[in-house]
Amino acid sequence: MTRIAIIVGSTRPGRKARDVAEWIHSIAIRRTDAEFSIVDLLDAALPLLDEPIPPAAAQYRHDHTRRWATTVDQFDGYVFVTPEYNHSTSAALKNALDFVYAEWTNKAAGFVGYGVSGGTRAVEHLRLVMAELQVADVRGQVALSLWDDFSESGVVTPRPQQAEAAAAMLGQLVAWSTALRSVRVHQPVP
């Protein structure tokens, strides 16, 4: 079965990322063609990147890096839930992406952004990072507006079209994640 991680991309106090991840998870688990799990960066407890050797070498010295590598490696694809901070993604998410390399490679990613402008600029930055990690990002994405998809008290209340966008993105993501497994099986051994 194809395994997809929904990555909570913020560790900030008062964050909405966990609530958004739970919303997307509630839509995802209706599918029967993949398994979906929430992976919260707060639980990963990664420090600021502290590995002395570049991650492409896969010579991890720290236990927290090895645990993170194991977590990332077990999935075929990812939904990145990202806030938009200063026209980009969160530092916590970028840091988590930078810790490992091969564990991301030849997999697929979809995005759920949120912010004043729907998190679209954060997602655009993540697409550039995905290219370098050799992750195939799907075209469909969800852009939640703080004005229209959250209540006045900050509760996630997406408009109906957001669930449709989520379903479309998840369909693309599962298809690509499943297809890319064959690429990973045939990778040459370094």
62 with 51: CB under 8 angstroms? yes
Q: Count other Cβ atoms within 10 Å, centred on residue 185.
A: 8
The average confidence (pLDDT) of the chain is: 96
- For 17-119, where are the alpha helices, taking DSSP H only? 17-28, 41-44, 63-73, 91-99
Q: Count other Cβ atoms within 10 Å, centred on residue 19.
A: 15
Assigned domain for 63 exists = yes
Question: Which one, of 172, 176, 106, 116, lies nearest residue 144 by Cα?
Answer: 116
Assigned domain for 76 exists = yes
pLDDT band at 185 (very low <50, low <70, confident <90, very high): confident
Q: What's the pLDDT tens digit per position in 27-73? A: 999 999 999 999 999 999 999 999 999 999 999 999 999 999 999 99
Write down the number of H helices and E strands in the chain.
6, 5
Assigned domain for 90 exists = yes
Q: What's the pLDDT tens digit per position in 135-174? A: 999 999 999 999 999 999 999 999 999 999 999 999 999 9
CATH number for the domain harbouring residue 138: 3.40.50.360
Assigned domain for 163 exists = yes
Q: What's the pLDDT tens digit per position in 84-116? A: 999 999 999 999 999 999 999 999 999 999 999
Assigned domain for 190 exists = no
CA dist list (Å): 136 to 1, 166, 172: 19, 17, 11
Assigned domain for 152 exists = yes
pLDDT at 123 over 80: yes
The parent domain of residue 150 ranges over 2-185
Question: What's the predicted TM-score (pTM) here?
Answer: 0.96
Assigned domain for 71 exists = yes
pLDDT band at 187 (very low <50, low <70, confident <90, very high): low
Supply the DSSP symbol for 3: E
Q: How far apart are CA 78 and CA 83, in angstroms?
A: 16
Q: How many domains does the chain have?
A: 1
